[in-house]
Homo-oligomer: A and B are copies of this chain.
């Protein structure tokens, strides 16, 4: 059963493709709320989820959400054919995985195709991810899904170059190390085209932070041109359509707080295939709020990344890093960009410099520009002699930013509050999750100037009345909200002298 229906655009972002039909048309088509229909016009088609309007819409017309009109380019007043959609065959493959069987590359290809074509609902994708979580994937499946994810998106290629990359498994606020690593590694003559994400749940993704200094959205040709000029780039991965099905998986698994181990491997490595990476250093932050709770788990990730890399032709080295507190002291786009630039200028917090140089050193050794065991020292040299800062300025200029910018030019939000210690003692913990929530309440990452600045770090002695941290915001209202949150859920924990008697760190928290 098919019907010709006239389009009325509805400019509401619903996060999924929705078609609003009148009761009459839905009845004629034999479809109900939440069913799926195919919308065809001029040889293009899209799948939509049915809503039913009981008023406001004339029979023979329908509202299409922007997710659909963008896809098939229909505009108000045009007509499209609507037919009930059959159940996609990949439902059977999801069931197969649920039943404990293994999926082949062809199976994954069918599922990913249906995901990309909107043939699977979020409910169905959630079932797929649940099956991957509970029944896990073996290494053959992991390799297959990684390759399928990579092949279904755009790819970058850098012929004739050995491509180096760095990736962090995430979960640590203030982790702006890529802003140091890329210029260090590029200054040493290695190619490092770093694509990064924007924040989903964090206060600033590397792309959000870099955007304070220069534009970050480029297409594949522009990326190649910049890399050919400067050896490095710090761009937003979303500007090129790398492994797009992975983004959909992430969107679905995020509210579930589900993160199947091997799907995390696929997600990282598919993007590395798509960006033509030859050598990768993985930063595995261990600690509260990260994916890695202990050394066993770190080792499992490391072995799996290395093995998967081997199977798909990428050499991987893994570094387990301390992830129980923010990297550096600044959290939020402008504050982080300022801190990273200050570190390139020669003055930064040691945790940021140590971590960046350590990871960069692995790449320098792999690229043969540092002697084995001397990579970190070489990285620190590049940083201290100002070579990294010069390279960063080249990169900023190539990306269309102002190359003469200094850390002093970057101003955080004009509204600021200071939170002081209510007692004397030692800082025994800085809670990642609370820091992020305060920065987000203050407006990060959308408000670039919003963020959190730690003044007293872990282990430091504080007196009553000392400023522990500052909150910055672009609006007074958000500053108040964030400050209120900081009082309800203190991000910095202070203990008295008794601290020394506590037998292990785990108990303090």
For residue A16, which residues in chain B have a CB less than 8 angstroms away from its CB?
34
User: Does A378 belong to the interface (CB within 8 Å)?
Assistant: no
A91's contact among B121, B256, B440, B481, by CB below 8 Å, is which? B256
Q: Given A11-B54, A12-B54, are A30 and B441 neighbors across the interface (CB < 8 Å)?
A: yes
A55's contact among B11, B30, B34, by CB below 8 Å, is which? B11
| Distance of A232 from chain B, by nearest CB (Å) | 31
For residue A124, which residues in chain B have a CB less than 8 angstroms away from its CB?
126, 255-256
For residue A252, which residues in chain B have a CB less than 8 angstroms away from its CB?
123
State in angstroms the CA–CA spacing of A146 and B56 once bound together.
42
Q: Would you list which residues of chain A between 308 and 347 have a CB under 8 Å from chain B?
A: none
| Distance of A425 from chain B, by nearest CB (Å) | 31
For residue A10, which residues in chain B have a CB less than 8 angstroms away from its CB?
56
Q: Given A12-B20, A12-B53, A130-B130, are A95 and B257 neighbors across the interface (CB < 8 Å)?
A: yes
For residue A131, which residues in chain B have a CB less than 8 angstroms away from its CB?
130, 134
- Select the residue from A14, A16, A18 with max chain B CB neighbours within 10 A: A14
Q: Given A130-B134, A441-B1, are A123 and B12 neighbors across the interface (CB < 8 Å)?
A: no
Q: Report whether B91 and A257 are in contact in the complex, using a CB–CB cutoff of 8 Å.
A: yes
User: Does A487 belong to the interface (CB within 8 Å)?
Assistant: no
Q: Given A1-B441, A30-B441, A53-B12, are A123 and B255 neighbors across the interface (CB < 8 Å)?
A: yes
A13's contact among B11, B33, B126, by CB below 8 Å, is which? B33
For residue A369, which residues in chain B have a CB less than 8 angstroms away from its CB?
none
Q: Report whether B134 and A51 are in contact in the complex, using a CB–CB cutoff of 8 Å.
A: no
User: Does A135 belong to the interface (CB within 8 Å)?
Assistant: yes
Q: How many copies of the polypeptide does the oligomer hold?
A: 2
State in angstroms the CA–CA spacing of A53 and B10 once bound together.
8
Q: Would you list which residues of chain A between 229 and 288 have a CB under 8 Å from chain B?
A: 251-252, 255-258
Residue of B nearest to A56 (CB): B11
Q: Would you list which residues of chain A between 7 and 55 have a CB under 8 Å from chain B?
A: 10-16, 18, 20, 27-28, 30, 33-34, 50-55
User: Does A133 belong to the interface (CB within 8 Å)?
Assistant: yes
Q: Report whether B15 and A51 are in contact in the complex, using a CB–CB cutoff of 8 Å.
A: yes
| Distance of A285 from chain B, by nearest CB (Å) | 21
| Distance of A91 from chain B, by nearest CB (Å) | 6
Q: Report whether B255 and A98 are in contact in the complex, using a CB–CB cutoff of 8 Å.
A: no
User: Does A110 belong to the interface (CB within 8 Å)?
Assistant: no
User: Does A306 belong to the interface (CB within 8 Å)?
Assistant: no
For residue A255, which residues in chain B have a CB less than 8 angstroms away from its CB?
34, 87, 121, 123-124
Q: Given A127-B127, A134-B131, A134-B134, are A258 and B54 neighbors across the interface (CB < 8 Å)?
A: no
Tier of interface size on chain A: 35 or more
Q: Report whether B134 and A98 are in contact in the complex, using a CB–CB cutoff of 8 Å.
A: yes
A446's contact among B12, B27, B133, B134, by CB below 8 Å, is which? B27
Residue of B nearest to A63 (CB): B12
Residue of B nearest to A20 (CB): B12
For residue A154, which residues in chain B have a CB less than 8 angstroms away from its CB?
none
User: Does A122 belong to the interface (CB within 8 Å)?
Assistant: yes
Q: Would you list which residues of chain A between 184 and 229 have a CB under 8 Å from chain B?
A: none
Residue of B nearest to A65 (CB): B51
For residue A125, which residues in chain B have a CB less than 8 angstroms away from its CB?
123
For residue A477, which residues in chain B have a CB less than 8 angstroms away from its CB?
28
State in angstroms the CA–CA spacing of A478 and B66 once bound together.
32
Q: Would you list which residues of chain A between 454 and 478 have a CB under 8 Å from chain B?
A: 477-478
Residue of B nearest to A122 (CB): B123
Q: Mark A125-158, 1 if CB is under 8 A from B, else 0.
A: 1110111011100000000000000000000000
- Select the residue from A123, A134, A258 with max chain B CB neighbours within 10 A: A123
For residue A91, which residues in chain B have a CB less than 8 angstroms away from its CB?
256-257
Q: Mark A95-108, 1 if CB is under 8 A from B, else 0.
A: 10010100000000
Q: Report whether A12 and B257 are in contact in the complex, using a CB–CB cutoff of 8 Å.
A: no
Q: Report whether B130 and A98 are in contact in the complex, using a CB–CB cutoff of 8 Å.
A: yes
For residue A51, which residues in chain B have a CB less than 8 angstroms away from its CB?
12-15
Q: Report whether A123 and B256 are in contact in the complex, using a CB–CB cutoff of 8 Å.
A: yes
State in angstroms the CA–CA spacing of A28 and B94 once bound together.
39
Q: Report whether B11 and A53 are in contact in the complex, using a CB–CB cutoff of 8 Å.
A: yes
State in angstroms the CA–CA spacing of A125 and B130 once bound together.
11
For residue A257, which residues in chain B have a CB less than 8 angstroms away from its CB?
87, 91, 95
State in angstroms the CA–CA spacing of A52 and B10 once bound together.
11
Apart from A13-B51, A13-B52, what 17 extra A-B contacts exist at CB < 8 Å?
A: A10-B56, A11-B54, A12-B20, A13-B33, A14-B33, A14-B51, A15-B33, A34-B255, A54-B66, A95-B257, A100-B134, A122-B123, A123-B123, A123-B255, A127-B256, A127-B258, A130-B130
Please give me the 10 A-B residue pairs with the lowest Cβ-Cβ distance, nearest first. A130-B130, A15-B33, A15-B34, A126-B126, A123-B126, A11-B55, A13-B52, A134-B134, A12-B53, A127-B130
